[in-house]
Amino acid sequence: DTGVSQNPRHKITKRGQNVTFRCDPISEHNRLYWYRQTLGQGPEFLTYFQNEAQLEKSRLLSDRFSAERPKGSFSTLEIQRTEQGDSAMYLCASSPDPRDHYGYTFGSGTRLTVV
Amino acid sequence: GNSVTQMEGPVTLSEEAFLTINCTYTATGYPSLFWYVQYPGEGLQLLLKATKADDKGSNKGFEATYRKETTSFHLEKGSVQVSDSAVYFCALNSGGSNYKLTFGKGTLLTVNP
């Protein structure tokens, strides 16, 4: 297993279009997290899953955002009716156990540009 | 709420210089503290951590000590290398069941030969 994989690496879309990102975590990790990172800022928590259950969503996650993790494996993050303010790096991380922090592994991210 | 304040960058040093990147935090309870590093084009990597007061985290020559009295977790390295050029993020987790992280804004370090 080569770590957390995110696709695509880059996405350019027109305002108003829908986009979907995918995250494949490390296979034995039951926790999966999404963060958003804008230019010059640190990552901000969006949501997390334990297995297939979405247990918390940040207020940053507006109604246009939805995340799923069917069968507790890969996860998707969809943004509907994209806005220019959605332009950011979207990071995924996975963890086998919240107490084992060295297992909290980030992917390389998907960079979204809304034009 | 929780917050992390990092020293503004960018920081530019010559090889073998001493590095300090300041980090202070505000949190409820007893947070765990972390430093992450992000090399160009790569994901965040955990550099070191400390889970209670007076703990010292260390890795690859970097160190940081959890100071509860000053709510600080400053990153230091005695002799930087060109390969240390990256963005460094201070972060905390204040506990609870979700184990989400609160990050600082990051500090860009450039080391010149």
Q: What digits encode the pLDDT tens for the residues A55-91?
A: 888 988 889 999 999 988 999 999 999 999 999 999 9
Query: What is the predicted pLDDT for the residue at A103?
Result: 61
Average pLDDT over residues A29-40: 92
Rounded to an integer, what distance in angstroms lies between the CA atom of residue B81 and that of residue B111? 6
How many residue contacts between A and B have a Cβ separation below 8 Å?
Answer: 57
Query: What is the predicted pLDDT for the residue at A35?
Result: 96
Does residue A47 belong to the interface with chain B, where contact is any CB pair within 8 Å?
no
Give contacts of A 6-25 with B, CB under 8 A: none
Rounded to an integer, what distance in angstroms lies between the CA atom of residue B93 and that of residue B28? 10
Q: Tokens at residue B62, please?
A: 């970097």
pLDDT digits (tens, 9 = 90+) for B30-89: 889 999 999 988 889 999 999 889 999 999 999 999 999 999 999 999 999 999 999 999
Does residue A42 belong to the interface with chain B, where contact is any CB pair within 8 Å?
yes
Query: What is the predicted pLDDT for the residue at B11?
Result: 96
Query: Which residues of chain A lie closer than 8 angstroms to B103, CB-CB?
Result: 42-44
- pLDDT of B20 over the 60 cut: yes
Query: Which residues of chain A lie closer than 8 angstroms to B100, CB-CB?
Result: 33, 45, 48, 56
Contact criterion met (CB < 8 Å) for B43 and A108 = yes
Query: What is the predicted pLDDT for the residue at A104?
Result: 82
The whole-chain average pLDDT of chain A stands at 91
Average pLDDT over residues B86-93: 94
Query: What is the predicted pLDDT for the residue at B67?
Result: 96
Q: Give Cβ neighbours of residue A5 (< 8 Å, ≥ 6 apart).
A: A23, A24, A107
Query: What is the predicted pLDDT for the residue at A68?
Result: 96
Does residue B99 belong to the interface with chain A, where contact is any CB pair within 8 Å?
yes
- pLDDT of A108 over the 60 cut: yes
Rounded to an integer, what distance in angstroms lies between the CA atom of residue A40 and that of residue A104? 23
Query: What is the predicted pLDDT for the residue at B43?
Result: 85
Q: How many CA atoms are closer than 13 Å to the CA of B17, on its beta-carbon side?
A: 16
- pLDDT of B15 over the 60 cut: yes
Å between A80 CA and nearest CA of chain B: 25
